[in-house]
C-alpha cells in the first residue's frame, strides 16, 4: 500500500501516573476517542494506536513511542496524531525536535489537536507551548519533592520497604515487621554479633535455602518485569549481608534521602552527603536491640586485613593492567619464597585457572621481574623515537584506514562549506536591509531568502557529515595525544605504577610455547617462548609489530650468549631478565618544561 497517495495515521496516546489522578479528561480513553472522531470527520485512515500508559513525558525512552518510530521508519504511516503537544512529551528540547525536525525531515505530518499544531502550517506559538509543557513538568517535580519532604519530616516511610519489613496494613506510610523475613534479619545480626564474618553468614543462609532479598521481592511481594526478575540472584552474597548490618532502619529509625536525581530530566542518581539525609527516630517497631546492633557493628570487618600494608607482601604494579590473553581475566601475584629469596620466585598467574569454577582457563604465568623489564624497555624504545618516527607511525596507521589525500579533501570541502555559509548569512542580512529601504519588494525577498535557506540547509547537512571524524582522522589525533604524553619523559630507569598507568592501557600475556621440535617439558629449565602484547594509551598495540617474546631461549638462537631481551644466560643455558645486573631504583625522568 502506497502511503503517498492516501493519509495513513498513527495515534499516539500517553498518560503519566500523576496525570491519571486528575480524572477522565486526561485518560487514555479520552485521548483515543478524540483522535478517532477527528479521523472519521476528515477521512483519515487510522492504521494503529500506540499507548504509553504510566510513562512520564520527561523523557522519550518509552516502549510504545520507540516502537512507533520504528514503524514510521518502515513507511507504515505518513501522519502522527496526538491529543495535544504534552502527550508527545514535556521535555521542551526533545518535543520540539520530534515535532519540528524529525517528523518533517521524514516526510511525516504531525498534528496536535488540542493545541492546533500542524507541521504543514506555520506554528508561531509553538515555542511557547513547548516551554509551558516543560514548566508544567518542572512544577510537578517540585510539588512531588515537597510532598516527599513533608512525609519524611513526619516520619512516614515513602520508599520500598527494606528486607525484613512490609508496609503496615493500617497505614501504608508506616513499616511493620514481615513475618517471613524478620527472623532472617535477626539471625544475621545475632551471627555477626557472635563473630561470624559476612561471607560465612551468606554461606550459611545459602546452605539453609533462605531466599535472598531481591528474589523474595520478585516471588512474594512486588511486581517486576521479566527483565528485572531475571536479574534477581538465587544466592546470598556478603555484600547483601553487610548492607543489612549497616542499615539503622532495623533499630526502628527512618532514614531516607540518601540519593537524588541530577535533574528533572535525568534518571541518574547521585549520593547525598550524610548530613543532608532525612533521619527520623523511633518511627516503626525495631527488629534488633541497640546493644545487638552495636555488637554486630563492632565485629563487622574485624576479620578483614589490609595485606598490602605488610612489607613482606608482594605488591604488583600490574593490577588491572595485565590480563590473560586466553580468557581475558586479570593476572595476580603468585609464587613462593625459597631461602629468603622472594623476588626470584614471584610470578603473575591467571586468576581464572582455579578448578572450583565453571569453564576454567588453561592459565598463563609470567615471571614478574621479566614482565617489568620487558615493559620498561618497550616504553623506553618508544620514548627514544623522534618526532619524525612517531609521525611516520601515524601516517602508516592513517594509510591503512584511509588515504591522507582523502582527509585533506574533506578538510578543503569543510572550509568551502563554512565560507559559503558565511556569505549566505551576509546576503540574507543585506536582502532584509534592502527590503526595509524599499529597494527589494516583499515577493522578491521571500523568493530569494527561500532559495538561500534551502542552499544553507544543504550546506549545513554536508558540513555535519564532513565534520564527523573519520577513522583515519581519529587515529592521527590519538597519535598526536600519545606524542604529547611521550614528550614529557626522556628515559625510565625503574618502572613504577604511576608511570605504567601513564602509558599503558592493557597488557596481554600469552601462554608459554615450547620451541619447534620439543613436544613436552622434560626438565625444569625447559626453553620456551611467551608472547606479550602491550596496548598503549590512545594508540593501542602498535600494528605491524609482532608481540614481544620473553624468557628462556636456547643459547644457539642468539649471539654473544645473550637472550632476546639482551640479558646473560644462567648456568642451565636459559636466558632470564633476573640473571641480568641489578638496576638502581630511580624515578622516571621527566623533561623539564620549556
Per-residue pLDDT band at 201 (split at 50, 70, 90)? very high
| pLDDT tens string 528-539 | 788 888 888 777
Domain ranges of the chain: 8-140, 165-299, 318-380, 403-469, 505-590
SS (H, E, C) 301-338: CCCCCCHHHCCCCCCCCCCCCEEECCCCCEEEEEECCE
How many Cβ atoms are within 10 Å of 99's Cβ, its own excluded? 24
pLDDT of residue 572: 37
Angle between helices 238-245 and 182-193 (to 10 degrees): 90
pLDDT of residue 44: 92
pLDDT of residue 38: 93
Average pLDDT taken over every residue of the chain: 78
CATH topology assigned to domain 8-140: Rossmann fold (3.40.50)
Q: 3-class DSSP state for residue 267? A: coil
| pLDDT tens string 378-403 | 888 888 887 777 777 777 766 655 55
The DSSP bridge partners found for residue 324 are 509
Element (H or E) spanning 565, and its range? none
What are the CA-CA distances from residue 177 to residues 191, 235, 281, 339 (Å)?
20, 23, 16, 60
Same fold, 8-140 and 165-299: no
Nearest to 186 by CA among 255, 282, 251, 236: 251
Q: Lowest mean pLDDT of 225-229, 351-355, 574-578, name the range.
A: 574-578
Between 530 and 261, the higher pLDDT residue: 530
Q: Is the pLDDT of residue 582 over 50?
A: no
CB 164 within 8 A of CB 250: yes
Angle between helices 387-401 and 471-486 (to 10 degrees): 160
CATH topology assigned to domain 165-299: Hect, E3 ligase catalytic domain fold (3.90.1750)
Between 579 and 415, the higher pLDDT residue: 415
pLDDT of residue 36: 93
| pLDDT tens string 283-297 | 889 999 988 888 888
Between 100 and 452, the higher pLDDT residue: 100
Amino acid at each position: 500500500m502506497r502511503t503517498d497517495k492516501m493519509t495513513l495515521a498513527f495515534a499516539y496516546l500517553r498518560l503519566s501516573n500523576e496525570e491519571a489522578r486528575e480524572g477522565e479528561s486526561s485518560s487514555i480513553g479520552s485521548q483515543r476517542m478524540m483522535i478517532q472522531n477527528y479521523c472519521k470527520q476528515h477521512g483519515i485512515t487510522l492504521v494503529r494506536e500506540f499507548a504509553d500508559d504510566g510513562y512520564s513525558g520527561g523523557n522519550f525512552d518509552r516502549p510504545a513511542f520507540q516502537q512507533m518510530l520504528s514503524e514510521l521508519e518502515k513507511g507504515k504511516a505518513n501522519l502522527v496524531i496526538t491529543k495535544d503537544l504534552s502527550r508527545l512529551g514535556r521535555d521542551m528540547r526533545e518535543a520540539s525536535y520530534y515535532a519540528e525536525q524529525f517528523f518533517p525531515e521524514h516526510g511525516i505530518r504531525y498534528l496536535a489537536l488540542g493545541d492546533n499544531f500542524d507541521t504543514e502550517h506555520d506554528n508561531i506559538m509553538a515555542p511557547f507551548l513547548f516551554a509551558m509543557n516543560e514548566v508544567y513538568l518542572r512544577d510537578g517535580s517540585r510539588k512531588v519533592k515537597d510532598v516527599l519532604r513533608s512525609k519524611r519530616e513526619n516520619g512516614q516511610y515513602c520508599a520500598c520497604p527494606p528486607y525484613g519489613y512490609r508496609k503496615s496494613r493500617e497505614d501504608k506510610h508506616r513499616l511493620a515487621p514481615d513475618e517471613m523475613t524478620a527472623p532472617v534479619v535477626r539471625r544475621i545480626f545475632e551471627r555477626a554479633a557472635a563473630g561470624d564474618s559476612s561471607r560465612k553468614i551468606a554461606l550459611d543462609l545459602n546452605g539453609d535455602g533462605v531466599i535472598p532479598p531481591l528474589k523474595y521481592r520478585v516471588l512474594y511481594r512486588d511486581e517486576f518485569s521479566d527483565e528485572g526478575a531475571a536479574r534477581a540472584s538465587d544466592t546470598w552474597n556478603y555484600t547483601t549481608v553487610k548492607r543489612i548490618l549497616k542499615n539503622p532502619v532495623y533499630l526502628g529509625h527512618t532514614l531516607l534521602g540518601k540519593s537524588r536525581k541530577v535533574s528533572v530530566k535525568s534518571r541518574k542518581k547521585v549520593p547525598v552527603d550524610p548530613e543532608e539525609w532525612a533521619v527520623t527516630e523511633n518511627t516503626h517497631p525495631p527488629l534488633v536491640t541497640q546493644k545487638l546492633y552495636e555488637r554486630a557493628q563492632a565485629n563487622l570487618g574485624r576479620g578483614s586485613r589490609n595485606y598490602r600494608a605488610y612489607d613482606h607482601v608482594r605488591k604488583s604494579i600490574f593490577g588491572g593492567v595485565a590480563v590473560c590473553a586466553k580468557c581475558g581475566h586479570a593476572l595476580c601475584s603468585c609464587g613462593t619464597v625459597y631461602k629468603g629469596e622472594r623476588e626470584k620466585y614471584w610470578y603473575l598467574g591467571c586468576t581464572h585457572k582455579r578448578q572450583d569454577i565453571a569453564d576454567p582457563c588453561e592459565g598463563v604465568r609470567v615471571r614478574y621481574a621479566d614482565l617489568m623489564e620487558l615493559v620498561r624497555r618497550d616504553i623506553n624504545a618508544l620514548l627514544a623515537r623522534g618526532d619524525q618516527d612517531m609521525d611516520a607511525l601515524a601516517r602508516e596507521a592513517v594509510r591503512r584506514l584511509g588515504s591522507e589525500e582523502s582527509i585533506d579533501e574533506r578538510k578543503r570541502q569543510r572550509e568551502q562549506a563554512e565560507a559559503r555559509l558565511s556569505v549566505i548569512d551576509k546576503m540574507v542580512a543585506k536582502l532584509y536591509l534592502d527590503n526595509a529601504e524599499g529597494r527589494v519588494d516583499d515577493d522578491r525577498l521571500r523568493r530569494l531568502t527561500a532559495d538561500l535557506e534551502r542552499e544553507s540547509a544543504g550546506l549545513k547537512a554536508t558540513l555535519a557529515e564532513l565534520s564527523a571524524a573519520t577513522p583515519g582522522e581519529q587515529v592521527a589525533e590519538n597519535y598526536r595525544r600519545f606524542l604529547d604524553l611521550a614528550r614529557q619523559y626522556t628515559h625510565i630507569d625503574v618502572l613504577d605504577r604511576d608511570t605504567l598507568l601513564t602509558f599503558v592501557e592493557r597488557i596481554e600475556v600469552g601462554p608459554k610455547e615450547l620451541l619447534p621440535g620439543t613436544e613436552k617439558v622434560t626438565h625444569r629449565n625447559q626453553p620456551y617462548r611467551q608472547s606479550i602484547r602491550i596496548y598503549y594509551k590512545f594508540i593501542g598495540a602498535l600494528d605491524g609489530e609482532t608481540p614481544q617474546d620473553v624468557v628462556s631461549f636456547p643459547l644457539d638462537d642468539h649471539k654473544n650468549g645473550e637472550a632476546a631481551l639482551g640479558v646473560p644466560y644462567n648456568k642451565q643455558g636459559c636466558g632470564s631478565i633476573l640473571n641480568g645486573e641489578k638496576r638502581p631504583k630511580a624515578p622516571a625522568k621527566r623533561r623539564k618544561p620549556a
